[in-house]
Amino acid sequence: MSSSLVSITTELMRFRSSASNPSELRKIVDFSCAYLKKIPGVEVLRYESLGKPSLVASFEKSKRPEVALVGHLDIVEVEKKHDLLLPCLRGRRLIGRGAADMRGGVAVFFEVMKYFSRFAKRPSLALMLSTDEEIGGYDGMGYLTKTQKYRPRIALIPDSGLAINSIVRGEKGALHIKVSARGLESHGAEPWDGENAIELLFDARDRMCELLAIENYPAGRRWIETINIGTIHGGTSVNKVPSHAEMKCDIRFTEKYTARTLLKLLQKNIPFCRIEQIMDAEVTAYDPKHPLRKLYKRVLEKEIGKMAKFVWEHGNSDGRFFTKGGTTVIVHSPTGGKIHDYNEWIGLKSQEQYLNILKAYIHEVGYPH
């Protein structure tokens, strides 16, 4: 167990850097900049778009490095009652919000930069960190790739939360929507005189499931459409029929749809509610036969001593911003679980293995030919 890896992961996990906490977003970027500036040969540049800070640390002044280590410093919202549960070391696991997604991966990136700083000839390597991946990534990696024109040849992203022997071959698309319903107020004892807006949302959810052929989710991981109601609000009193309600839904979709066609399908077939898009991300595929991914798989298998596999992932990452510019994206991470839960965890042995994998792979591909 690397005490350095555990230490820096733990330090990063102490920041409550969610979208609703901009001061913590700045603090974790300040911390990361200060840490990286102490590494010999590393130059750190800070960026900001619409209040979302990001950074790029590298050994050379280039927006086209051979390899970019791509991560994010934000986490999903944390309930206050879970404050004291972050972080916790149990055996060979580090537990707490952000352990796997992705403070553990970012800590490995810091160690990779320190490792290569010791060489007289350093690789063409950059570390890119954002603070808005959990809410779409548009002002983080979207801004750095589209506006700042960063175009690495290879992007390594530890954003799967799968087992160490699994490399992502594709990610589902995501459509986040706000569904609003208008009903009619009445006394709670006389519901026939009103129209319940909350019940209209239930009807909308049932209709969405019907349209997407969702009945019951089968056990295990399946390449199917899914819907999650993340938040729901409505009503002002228990004894009054609510006239307004809204919910926010996270829909994950396969290659059957695009975000645009899916949104139009819902809007057309659920006319009794207003449906607005919050965020979208298209389905992204990563060819497992690409030479750079095949090489990564060989390096991985040598380190862990067993066969690796390419798998489909139900979440999505910032990888889609890089593929648009021709970057070869490799999504692979240390073993982790319970993502976005207060019992989220990362396996410490796999974290060390991931560090060794990145060192070996960058030695192979990090120097221009």
* Residue whose structure tokens are 């399946």: 222
- For residue 164, the SS3 value is coil
Pick the CATH number of 3-171+283-365 from 3.20.20.70, 3.40.630.10, 3.40.50.2300, 3.30.830.10: 3.40.630.10
- Best CA proximity match to 186, nearest among 137, 235, 150: 235
β-strand pairing of 240-241 with 186-187: antiparallel
Integer CA distances (angstroms), 25 to 133, 183, 217, 281, in order: 12, 39, 35, 23
Q: What is the CATH number of domain 173-280?
A: 3.30.70.360
User: CA quadruple 30, 35, 36, 39: dihedral positive or negative?
Assistant: positive
End-to-end CA distance of the chain: 35
Q: What is the pLDDT of residues 24-41, one digit of tens each?
A: 999 999 999 999 999 999
Question: CA–CA separation, 202 vs 280, rounded Å?
Answer: 23
Strands (E), 235-367: 240-241, 244-253, 274-281, 284-285, 309-313, 328-331, 336-337, 345-347
Do the Cβ atoms of 173 and 224 come closer than 8 Å? no
Q: What is the pLDDT of residues 113-161, one digit of tens each?
A: 999 999 999 999 999 999 999 999 999 999 999 999 999 999 999 997 7
Euclidean distance between CA atoms 133 and 70, whole angstroms: 11
pTM (2 d.p.) = 0.92
Q: What is the tens place of the pLDDT at every residue in 292-349?
A: 999 999 999 999 999 999 999 998 999 999 999 999 999 999 999 999 888 899 999 9
Phi–psi pair at 321, nearest 5 degrees: -70, -30
Q: What are the residue boundaries of the structural domains of the chain, listed by start?
A: 3-171+283-365, 173-280
CA distance 341 to 101: 10
What are the pLDDT digits (tens) for 97-106? 899 999 999 9
Tell which phi-psi region holds residue 99, choosing left (phi > 0), alpha (psi between -120 and 50) or beta. alpha
Please report the pLDDT score of residue 84 as a whole number: 45
Strand order in the sheet with 345-347: 88-90, 93-95, 345-347, 336-337
User: Which pLDDT does position 305 carry in this prediction?
Assistant: 97
Which letter does DSSP use for residue 217 in this model? P
Fold match, 3-171+283-365 / 173-280:
no
Alpha helices in 226-343 (DSSP H): 259-269, 291-304, 319-323
Residue 203 pLDDT > 90, yes or no?
yes
